[in-house]
Structure 1
Amino acid sequence: MALRSPSLVELHAFVAVARTGSFRKAADRLFVTQAAVSRAVLRLEEQLGVDVLTRSGAGVRLTDAGAQLLRRVEKPLAALEQAAADLQRRPDRLRLRLSVVTSLGNLWLMPRLEDFRARHPEVELEFRQYHHDEDFRREDVDLWIALKPQRGQAWPRQIAARYLVGREIVAVCAPRLGARIRSAADLVRQPLLYHSNYPDNWGLWAQAAGVHLPAGWRGTGFDLVMNLIEAARSGMGVAVVQKCMVEADLAAGRLAMPVAGAASTGRGYFLCSRRSLGAHPAAERFSEWVMAQAAGSEHGDPVEIPRRRGSQR
């Protein structure tokens, strides 16, 4: 039998435009470009041989044929989406695709992942490349752990973001160097190491510590957090760095924090997901776990997460 029905792509585009009254809003809902939605609706109209929408400067509205089509396809489309969601909830289909800032992934998340795997062996994790210019429109990622680069910056409206860790910065150095430092004033007279993307972090730390940086100070900059930390470990100087990145080094005695206290950058790392993600058991389990890990990290101690019924160690 020859297929006469339009494809799901065309039908989803049509329903989204009909429900939002706008090609732009439909594109936001579907996480595609406005041009893609427009082309899909045009293909639908060409295949059916009728106009389903009227376009004008005042907006978009349904034709009589479009209203009839909407009544007949909206519920079946919703049923197909629900069927797919039900299948995805099967334990053997619990897959989570993650994109994580490289530095946080290596220094903070990876050492903790064995705990997640032990608690939720049913979840299959897939890590996808992190993009520094991320626009959160990728179809190959379910959750992001992303850096908020600027204080007060708004996230894209299609994204739900929850703060994890990384606002606090501290001054750290090799223990042998730290043994000579008695005060914040002593500390800022040492060779200063900084992240080259955030040289102002030293100013934030000094202000919080109640001291002034030496006039015209010059330090050594590093474009990678891992290199910055390694330089501090080797005794090159004192680094100002996010506390979450050096937890393991401080606990193991590879680094020391000679002056207590921290400053806030107002930035940090956030757990991000599309608002349209819907029911996603793997994302829900990982989100619960990583938020608890972050709470423990911020307070300096581990947090015990209650086990879900049926999960295994």
Structure 2
Amino acid sequence: MPRLDAFRSLHPAIEITLRPTDGQPDLLAFEADAAIGYDSLKRVGVQQAMLANPRVFPVAKPADLIAAPLIHEESHDQWLASFATAGVDAPARLGGPRLWHAHLAIEAAKLGQGVALANDLIAGRDLATGELVEIGTSSVALSPYVFSAKRGRWKEPAVERAKRPG
């Protein structure tokens, strides 16, 4: 969201509709013109460009974190992958709420409800203001953010402009 206003200023003719979903839209069936997702799954007839592969790290409200629960998105998978990539044994049971989307997990962490996984793209502003703090040091990178569009539309001017990060 912090970059949306700058994009609109640079490209006022492009109409933007953002719709968070649980899965990727079917670009071949024209459910969307393009998609930005947190994966790099190859799809027939769809072309992709990696936008970013940010470092992922635990964040929480500055407080006593000894017994803070883990906050999950849709599953425990990101925490398990983060532990494995960092070479740390995951706890036998990963408790804590599942809040489905990153923005909900970040908000719960800001409210002191536990520790969420984040990256600079989604939590940079909260880290800069001190609302959240990074817990420990991590060099873990999980799935990249990718821009996807129907292969036949890849060279259209609006798609060309939208797939450039920054």
Question: TM-score scaled by structure 2?
Answer: 0.80
Give SS of 1:273's match: strand
Give SS of 1:137's match: helix
Counterpart check, 1:206 vs 2:83: yes
The structure carrying a bigger helix percent of its residues is 1
Q: 1:205, 1:262 within 8 Å by CA — same for their partners in 2?
A: no
Q: Deviations over 1:199-222 (max 9, x none)?
A: 032233334444434443423322
Q: Deviations over 1:273-294 (max 9, x none)?
A: 1111164222222323xx2x2x
Give 2:3's match in structure 1, choosing from 104, 112, 117: 112
Residue equivalent to 1:231: 108
Give 1:249's match in structure 2, choosing from 121, 126, 133: 126
Give the fraction of aligned pairs with identical amino acids, expressed as a percent. Answer: 26
Structure with larger Rg: 1
Which residues of structure 1 form unaligned runs of 5+? 1-109, 179-188, 294-313
Give the 3 Å change call, closer, same or farther, for CA 220–140 of structure 1 in structure 2: closer
Structure 1 residue 135, shift from structure 2 partner: 2.3
Give the 3 Å change call, closer, same or farther, for CA 215–146 of structure 1 in structure 2: closer
Q: 2:86 and 2:31 mapped to 1: Cα distance? A: 44
Give the 3 Å change call, closer, same or farther, for CA 138–168 of structure 1 in structure 2: farther
Structure 1 residue 172, shift from structure 2 partner: 0.4
- The AA in structure 2 aligned to 1:117 is R
Residue equivalent to 2:93: 216
Q: Deviations over 1:233-288 (max 9, x none)?
A: 122222223442211111221100031113232x2321011111164222222323
Q: 2:67 and 2:85 mapped to 1: Cα distance? A: 18
Q: 2:95 and 2:81 mapped to 1: Cα distance? A: 16
Residue equivalent to 1:270: 146
Q: 1:156 and 1:202 mapped to 2: Cα distance? A: 26
Give 2:37's match in structure 1, choosing from 122, 146, 149: 146
- The AA in structure 2 aligned to 1:191 is A
Q: 2:73, 2:102 within 8 Å by CA — same for their partners in 1?
A: no
Residue equivalent to 2:47: 160
Give SS of 2:3's match: helix
Q: 1:134 and 1:282 mapped to 2: Cα distance? A: 18
Which residues of structure 2 form unaligned runs of 5+? none
